[in-house]
Amino acid sequence: EEQTIEDGLKQIEKRMKNEGQNYHGIGKGKNLIVIQVESLANFVMFRDYDGQEITPNLNKLASSPHSLYYNNYFQLIGKGNTSDAEFVSLNSLYPSMEKPTYFQYADNKFYGLPWLMRDNGYTAWAFHGYKRDFWNRDEAYINQGFERFIAEDNFNFTEEIGFGITDKDFFNQSMFYLNQLDQKDENPFFAFLVTLTSHNPYEMPEEYQKINIKEEHKDSLTANYLQSIHYTDEAIAEFIQNLKDNGLYDDSVIVIYGDHFAINAGLETEEEILNYLLGRPYDYDMMMNIPLIIHVPNENLGKTITTVGSQLDFYPTIANIMGYENTKGITFGMDLNNPIRENYVFPQTYLYKGSFISQDYMFQFSRDGVYENSKVINRFTRREEDINKFMDVTSRGIREIDLSDYILKNNYFMEYIK
Ligand code: GP9
């Protein structure tokens, strides 16, 4: 029988209750520094190109005894690309598929991570070195719970790459504001930093191209990408050193993840270099795979988490690490350190609504919306399998997306959050 919307939401709310013993509260009272990295794909992690390590610093961080590294983590964006990655991660709600969520629902009431941290005494600021009104951030951030937005107009830069400010300038100058936050009061802070340099088409000036590219791969999008993500990797390492030099490192939880894919699957021009780099065909599940690293200085962690998850799971995962429970909003994700059910990723872009990625499968729901035209592949054998046994999972995914959309459409938290 048909379940009512209210019953559906009650069910989602009920499953939020999670004892969450693993890593509960290991970040309690510390600052929370989250870095969302432009186009950081997981396929560059722990990978060499012709004997050259692409992201040596992120590799070091991810394999540190004080880090958790999630290697089976996926993007979950709609029409708002980078801004949806922010929205989904901070709120654990699905993005709108009509318009970028930051535009369509800028005025809605939310209870995402910035609000949770503020309710627990934190100051929450956002940092991004591009135009204040791009993706409507200046308006959306207010209802997301950020008290201040350090944007392009707060930075000085002489050198421009791609969209503008370089990641090194961005991180260096952000230190000034982080020090301000640190000295502001007794309270810890939540800083949300969004990088910019490694943006498509990834063209870097000659002096920043540190990876030697083979003649036959030169000028490909992927070759450019390796150069630019290598630069960003170095910028992040300098930033962490800077946190140490400024005495902020030991008191902070540092979280890093990619906002979305770097190279679209199915680009003919990229086939050769990707095959060479990966030694296997590049498909949508690899394209949408982004890394998540949670680094807690002085905590004994040192683990790679293979549980499948996505940006939808970010908020519950971080909330448990910080030791706080979300008792106000409704979140659709799962704490990846305390899995209480089998997790599925339900994307709506690149893989269409009804599709899913699970531990073993990638189900590609047909673009025409006809189940019978869908296909499923085993993620390990890469072979196609019979689609019939996945009907209930796809309908569950569609149901969840619709429930989340109901929250957005009806500004549901307006009444719900006291
Ligand atoms: C711009 C930056 C890029 O502010 O966040 O957004 P994208 O084009 O990647 O969605």
DSSP 215-226: GGGTT-HHHHHH
Q: Which of 29, 203, 188, 195 is nearest to 122 (CA)?
A: 188
| 199 assigned ligand-binding residue | yes
The predicted complex's ipTM stands at 0.87
Distance 73 CA to ligand 1 centre (A): 20
Distance 26 CA to ligand 1 centre (A): 32
| 260 assigned ligand-binding residue | yes
* For the CA of 130, the nearest atom of ligand 1: 4
Residue from 39, 40, 82 to probe ligand 1 pocket by mutation (most atoms less than 8 Å from CB): 82
Least confident range of 13-22, 36-45, 393-402? 13-22
Q: Which DSSP category does 44 fall into?
A: G
Q: What is the pLDDT of residue 416?
A: 74
- Give the residue, by CA position, lying nearest to ligand 1 atom 7: 82
192 pLDDT higher than 90? yes
Size of the chain, expressed as the number of residues it contains:
418
Q: Which of 314, 413, 346, 415 is nearest to 111 (CA)?
A: 413
1 pLDDT higher than 80? no
| 259 assigned ligand-binding residue | yes
Distance 81 CA to ligand 1 centre (A): 7
Find out whether 77 and 94 touch, Cβ atoms under 8 Å.
no
Find out whether 397 and 352 touch, Cβ atoms under 8 Å.
no
Distance 82 CA to ligand 1 centre (A): 5
Reduce the DSSP state of residue 395 to 3 states and report it: helix
First to last CA, the chain: 32
- Give the residue, by CA position, lying nearest to ligand 1 atom 3: 82
Share of the chain above pLDDT 70, in %: 99
Q: Model's pTM, two decimal places? A: 0.97
Specify whether the backbone of 154 is left (phi greater than 0), alpha (psi in -120 to 50) or beta: alpha
81 lines ligand 1 (CB under 6 A): yes
If one compares 1 and 278, the residue with the highest pLDDT of the two is: 278
Distance 327 CA to ligand 1 centre (A): 32
Q: What is the pLDDT of residue 418?
A: 59
pLDDT digits (tens, 9 = 90+) for 64-99: 999 999 999 999 999 999 999 999 999 999 999 999
pLDDT digits (tens, 9 = 90+) for 337-346: 999 999 999 9
- Encoded tokens for 273: 């270099």
Q: 187 vs 119, 178, 356, CA distance in Å?
A: 12, 13, 41
Question: For all residues of the chain together, what is the average pLDDT?
Answer: 96
Residues 6+ positions from 379 with CB-CB distance below 8 Å: 285, 357, 359, 360, 361, 362
| 82 assigned ligand-binding residue | yes
If one compares 393 and 186, the residue with the highest pLDDT of the two is: 393
Rounded mean pLDDT of 297-303? 97
pLDDT digits (tens, 9 = 90+) for 349-364: 999 999 999 999 999 9
Q: What is the pLDDT of residue 18?
A: 78
Residue from 135, 136, 141, 200 to probe ligand 1 pocket by mutation (most atoms less than 8 Å from CB): 135
Reduce the DSSP state of residue 164 to 3 states and report it: strand
- Strand 52-53 to 303-305 pairing: unpaired
130 lines ligand 1 (CB under 6 A): yes
* For the CA of 260, the nearest atom of ligand 1: 9
Q: Active-site residue among 55, 82, 222, 307?
A: 82
Phi/psi for 29 (5° steps) reads: 80, -10
Q: Give the ranges where 145-255 is alpha helix by DSSP (H).
A: 167-184, 221-245
Q: What is the pLDDT of residue 3?
A: 84
82 is a catalytic site residue: yes
Q: What is the pLDDT of residue 17?
A: 85
- Give the residue, by CA position, lying nearest to ligand 1 atom 5: 82
pLDDT digits (tens, 9 = 90+) for 224-282: 999 999 999 999 999 999 999 999 999 999 999 999 999 999 999 999 999 999 999 99
- Give the residue, by CA position, lying nearest to ligand 1 atom 9: 82
Specify whether the backbone of 278 is left (phi greater than 0), alpha (psi in -120 to 50) or beta: alpha
Distance CA 396, CA 401 (A): 9
Q: What is the pLDDT of residue 317?
A: 98
Q: Which DSSP category does 157 fall into?
A: -
* For the CA of 81, the nearest atom of ligand 1: 10
